[in-house]
């Protein structure tokens, strides 16, 4: 596990004492992964000298497990209960997987910090006892489990002879369902498996699959008027991750895609420039519109919007987005 991004600064800051003695109430879902995420942020804040308390909150996405995620309403099902707790001043901050947060935030709330990104990639986990040798030796007719339209569309685009099946639940629940069933494998985010100590279950890294916007990053949401907390959180904020995830989420926002829209995006910063790759697909993976832009880092705030403009202006982009909207 990489060291905290603020390790050197934290030790110096701690000698001067914290900005406040206030106990920071951290809201989170109660899954093993969500708890790890909250404890990670707790550790960063504790290193700065700030006392914390973790408060567990159930969300609709945790309580309703027999309905496909897009039918529940998309990303907001994992965040609304925590948003309400923030607005009602029952917690001071909420920790989320950034990819789960809708691009349009509730009024009065803001993302005050983004932590350094973990592995952004998607991975294939095979059912226990199955093994692969070559790059493309998945058997014909394989059944792959995923609740993500983005993952499913990209998978079918590469393996049109395979069948997809829906899978819900936290990381451990999904692994148990996979191992107990007849499916070939399931698609997971590498970051989630790494964070809960299950990296050994990764059968294949899907380098060809574009991740969800902001996948692998953690976001800390607060009330917009909590200036004191905003100042504290700047010391655990990772600027490069903010710029990359911001470009990816801007692309998604302009396209008005949600959790159910097959949209992938990945921004990478190198040598003072930002490169953004994006893809929008039809649900069945038969149509797609890809873009790749490279620009000076000074244009990071607008590169997502420009990528979306190019998609919407292209013939392929119009065909894909029309297929997602359905008949008029």
| Tokens read off for 7 | 């390790």
| Tokens read off for 122 | 């998607």
Q: What are phi and psi of 17, to 5 degrees?
A: 90, 160
| Tokens read off for 15 | 């000698």
Distance, CA of 185 to CA of 144 (rounded, Å) = 5
Q: Which of 92, 100, 119, 226 is catalytic?
A: 100
Alpha helix segments (H runs only) across the chain:
7-16, 32-47, 60-63, 69-72, 80-87, 149-158, 171-180, 190-195, 227-233, 239-255, 300-313, 315-325
CA angle 203-70-246, nearest 5°? 75
Active site residue 271: no
Closest CA to 189 of 165, 161, 158, 213: 213
Which DSSP string do the residues of 167-187 spell out, in sequence order? --S-HHHHHHHHHHSS-SEEE
SS3 232: helix
Q: Which residues are catalytic?
A: 100
């Amino acid at each position: 596990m990489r060291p905290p991004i603020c390790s050197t600064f934290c030790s110096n800051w701690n000698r001067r004492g914290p900005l406040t003695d206030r106990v920071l109430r951290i809201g989170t879902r109660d899954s093993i992964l969500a708890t790890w995420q909250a404890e990670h942020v707790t550790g960063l804040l504790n290193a700065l000298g700030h006392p914390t308390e973790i408060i567990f909150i159930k969300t609709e996405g945790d309580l309703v497990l027999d309905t496909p995620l897009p039918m529940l309403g998309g990303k907001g099902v994992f965040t609304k209960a925590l948003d309400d707790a923030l607005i009602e001043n029952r917690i001071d901050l909420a920790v989320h997987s950034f990819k789960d947060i809708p691009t349009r935030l509730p009024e009065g709330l803001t993302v005050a910090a983004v932590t350094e990104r973990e592995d952004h990639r998607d991975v294939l986990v095979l059912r226990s006892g199955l093994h692969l040798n070559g790059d493309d030796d998945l058997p014909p007719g394989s059944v792959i489990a995923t609740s993500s339209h983005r993952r499913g569309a990209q998978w079918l685009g590469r393996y049109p002879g395979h069948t997809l099946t829906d899978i819900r639940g936290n990381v451990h629940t999904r692994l148990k369902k996979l191992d107990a069933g007849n499916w070939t494998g399931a698609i997971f985010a590498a970051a989630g498996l790494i964070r809960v100590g299950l990296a050994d279950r990764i059968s294949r890294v899907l380098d060809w699959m574009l991740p969800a916007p902001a996948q692998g990053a953690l976001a800390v949401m607060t009330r917009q008027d909590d200036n004191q907390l905003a100042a504290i959180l700047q010391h655990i904020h990772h600027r490069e991750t903010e710029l990359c995830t911001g470009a990816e989420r801007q692309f998604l926002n302009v396209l008005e895609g949600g959790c159910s829209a097959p949209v992938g995006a990945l921004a990478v910063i190198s040598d003072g420039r930002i490169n953004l790759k994006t893809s929008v697909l039809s649900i069945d993976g038969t149509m797609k519109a890809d873009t790749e832009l490279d620009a000076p880092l000074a244009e990071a705030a607008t590169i997502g919007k420009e990528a979306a403009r190019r998609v919407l202006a292209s013939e392929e982009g119009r065909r894909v987005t029309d297929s997602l909207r359905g008949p008029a």
